[in-house]
Amino acid sequence: MLDTTKNYCTLYLLRHGETEWNVSHIVQGHKDSPLTANGLEQAAKTARELKDIKFDAIFSSDLLRAQRTAEIIKLERDLAIQTSHLLRERSFGHYEGMDKDNYHAATQAFFEKLQSLTEAENWQYKFGSDVESDEELVNRFMVKLREIAVAYPGKTIMVVTHGGCLRTFLMKMGHVKYGTLPAGAFQNAGYMKVRSDGLEFIIEEVKGLKTI
């Protein structure tokens, strides 16, 4: 049988290594914090795991935690890291920099309202005017993935991004049921392998995912 997907782009979608704010349970969003020593080692471990894969290009979120991870994954590869704001974590607006306990207290009423909404309404629900909904996040993330897939048919590309992007992408693709992946479900330096022609996405492997 003819393989109609042989010219699909192969995407390795990777979450950045652990950061200081991950450890301190502080909401990051578009704000940044450095990788911890553990985060550096997580990235190095994944780099060793992927060392035999020939990447044709490397893309990264323009946030520093993702760029630093991309630099480690890059190893000795003679490739420039191309950055994009479309690969950023969800914008948490005025909640960014807040510790998780205060964040959960401030958003408790919003979370309670979610229980009465349909799945379609949940996708569009916003915790504030400056906070991205799941739909807004996954749509701009997928715009960049489609752009990369179309530009690199038959090639293998590394994309370093964030946990929020990856978990919403998995739910959007129907790989897991909506609402079954909590924040932090996609582990630091975990990754998935996806093939795409810019329209269709085929998830072939997911490594580093914990479900509830």
- Integer CA distances (angstroms), 118 to 114, 124, 126, in order: 8, 10, 14
pLDDT at 149 over 90: yes
- Mean pLDDT of the region 169-177: 94
Cα pseudo-dihedral 81, 85, 88, 93, rounded to 10: 150
Evaluate whether residue 173 is within a structural domain. Answer: yes
* CATH code, domain with 143: 3.40.50.1240
Q: Is 89 a catalytic residue?
A: yes
Evaluate whether residue 1 is within a structural domain. Answer: no
Evaluate whether residue 181 is within a structural domain. Answer: yes
Give the chain's domain count: 1
**Per the structure block, which two tokens stand in for 55?**
């990447």
C-alpha span between 20 and 28 (Å, rounded):
10
Query: Please, which residues have CB within 8 angstroms of residue 164's CB and are 6 or more apart in sequence?
Result: 89, 90, 137, 183
**Per the structure block, which two tokens stand in for 205?**
């492997």
Half-sphere exposure of 205 (CA within 13 A, CB side): 9
Of the listed 30, 71, 89, 135, which one is catalytic?
89
Strands 81-84 and 57-61: parallel
Question: How does pLDDT run across 45-95, given as a tens digit for each residue?
Answer: 999 999 999 999 999 999 999 999 999 999 889 999 999 999 999 999 999
Residues 24, 99: contact at Cβ < 8 Å? yes
Domain extent for 109? 10-209
Q: Is 85 a catalytic residue?
A: no
Evaluate whether residue 94 is within a structural domain. Answer: yes
Evaluate whether residue 4 is within a structural domain. Answer: no
C-alpha span between 103 and 162 (Å, rounded):
19
Q: What pLDDT does 209 receive?
A: 86
Enter the pTM of the model. Answer: 0.94
Evaluate whether residue 3 is within a structural domain. Answer: no
Q: What pLDDT does 3 receive?
A: 64
- Mean pLDDT of the region 5-26: 96
C-alpha span between 154 and 188 (Å, rounded):
28
Evaluate whether residue 197 is within a structural domain. Answer: yes
